Amino acid sequence: MARPRQFDKNEVLEKAMLCFWQNGYEGSSLKNLEEATGIGRISLYNTFQDKEHLFIAAQNMYYQSSNDFMSQFYNENATLDDLVKFIQNVISKDPDEAPAKFGCLMVNTALDTKTISDQIAENVKNYRQMIIGHYKSLLGRLQKNGEIRSDINIDSAAEFIIGSFWGAMSISRLYKDRSVAKLQLDMVIETIKGWST
Amino acid sequence: MARPRQFDKNEVLEKAMLCFWQNGYEGSSLKNLEEATGIGRISLYNTFQDKEHLFIAAQNMYYQSSNDFMSQFYNENATLDDLVKFIQNVISKDPDEAPAKFGCLMVNTALDTKTISDQIAENVKNYRQMIIGHYKSLLGRLQKNGEIRSDINIDSAAEFIIGSFWGAMSISRLYKDRSVAKLQLDMVIETIKGWST
DNA sequence: GGGATTTTATACCATTCAGTATATAATTTG
DNA sequence: CAAATTATATACTGAATGGTATAAAATCCC
């Protein structure tokens, strides 16, 4: 063995992820990433191979983080009201908190077209499917329990929620403020409440 | 006077707009733009000043085109059904038609973060306000006529529609196909129908 | 037709980019 | 302490970028 790393891999990855989130893939130059992470590009390359793999690692971290965040809302006892609370929670994040200003890393990436590789695009699609899976599992159970009307198409409802969110995230990014999507999401919440029996 | 231009300015601008729409601002290099328009960069610079102004001109053309497209749907006799037809029309565009694969130029631009200038961002915001204006004017009239329930918040309804669209456009871009947003928009249409008295 | 004027083509510029070769510094094991 | 090994810093590379200087070609008005 020899000299150990002078940094924590996860901390560096999180900082890199924030940089990508804020500035996009092309917008995050190696210089930016060095400044954001506090380590030199050599260390970045030794640890993460190259810029694309660093980005993919950031995507994976973001995926896990979102998955965890949703899981804490959508346990097996969750109600339609918890879904509403989840939406309100996302939209009312502290506007000074950095992520609230940058939209959603995955949505941003979906529309970043210059050098988006097949794997990066695939990761965005997988992320989307993961989110949809959460909604479908919750809504499906609620429908079985009779809390949601039987004429509601669960697939359509799940796509509706994520579609609304992605629109809200786009607008949030443009205005660097999630609360501009409040009016939109008020109506989304009305619609969701209307699914109840 | 002297030698006239060898090309039609509007035709060139339309081709440049399609290039930006497809590849984004950064993704459209001067080389790409030369190939897309069929004229040399010198002519582009003589005619449009520089790349940013060319992009802004493309934004303006897109703005006009969208405005015209919406105007033909939302005349003074339009009903809630026409709004539904409009949504179905947008989503069922011929998938082989190029624009159907690229999402929406303005949404793509809103999330393109590298070199988006203040004016380019402002144009996206203005575009969004123009669209919202169409919806508000239609919905407001329908509410006055008693075709829409009086407890519906028109501002919220208008933001809801454009928010849904922007989400649908993001997903369309990711999958290079607008029809993947069909399930989502089915529910949006259900919601809109529910506004009726 | 000829001079003035504008368009266009070629070739170039400085800058920035991701990525790397070389060399130096730091740490662990023996 | 010494040898081996790994992390880091400096400085560089080739490619691509947006933009331009120079000059040639084409057209109009007189």
pLDDT band at B183 (very low <50, low <70, confident <90, very high): very high
The confidence score (pLDDT) of residue B186 equals 97
Is pLDDT at B5 greater than 80 in this prediction?
no
* C-beta separation of B165 from B116 below 8 A: no
The confidence score (pLDDT) of residue A76 equals 84
The stretch B26-35 carries a mean pLDDT of 94
The confidence score (pLDDT) of residue A115 equals 66
The confidence score (pLDDT) of residue A3 equals 66
Residue A39 beta carbon within 7 A of nucleic strand D: yes
> Strand D within 7 Å of which CB atoms in B 3-62?
3-4, 26, 28-31, 41-42, 45, 50-52
Cβ-Cβ contacts under 8 Å between A and B: the total is: 144
The confidence score (pLDDT) of residue A131 equals 97
* Coil vs helix vs strand at B38: coil
* C-beta separation of A95 from A179 below 8 A: yes
pLDDT band at B2 (very low <50, low <70, confident <90, very high): low
Q: Specify whether the backbone of A176 is left (phi greater than 0), alpha (psi in -120 to 50) or beta.
A: left
Q: What is the pTM of this model?
A: 0.94
Residue whose CA is minimally distant from D16 C1': B29
The confidence score (pLDDT) of residue A2 equals 65
* C-beta separation of A59 from A106 below 8 A: yes
Is pLDDT at B135 greater than 60 in this prediction?
yes
What are A166's two structure tokens?
Answer: 């992605």
What are B165's two structure tokens?
Answer: 């669209």
How long is the CA A42 to C1' D11 vector, in angstroms? 13
A93-107, B17-31, B80-94: which is most confident = B17-31
The confidence score (pLDDT) of residue B8 equals 87
Mean pLDDT across chain A, nearest whole number? 92
pLDDT tens digits for range B53-73 = 999 999 999 999 999 999 988
Residue among A101, A97, A92 at smallest CA distance from A179: A92
Mean pLDDT across chain B, nearest whole number? 92
Which bases of chain D are contacted by protein, using any atom under 7 A from a CB? Answer: 4-11, 16-22, 25-29
Least confident interval from A97-106, A141-150, B11-20, B128-137: A97-106
**Which nucleotide, over all strands, has the C1' atom closest to the CA of B42?**
C8
The confidence score (pLDDT) of residue B115 equals 66
The stretch B34-61 carries a mean pLDDT of 93
Matching residue, tokens 């890199």: A16
The stretch B26-45 carries a mean pLDDT of 93
How long is the CA B4 to C1' C4 vector, in angstroms? 14
Angle between helices B118-144 and B80-91 (to 10 degrees): 140
Could you tell me which residue, A10 or A93, shows the higher pLDDT?
A10
Which whole-number Å values give the CA distances from B121 to A180, A184, B24, B167, B194, in the listed order? 15, 21, 14, 18, 34
The confidence score (pLDDT) of residue B169 equals 96
* Coil vs helix vs strand at A106: helix
Q: List the domains of chain A with CATH numbers.
A: 9-193 (1.10.357.10)
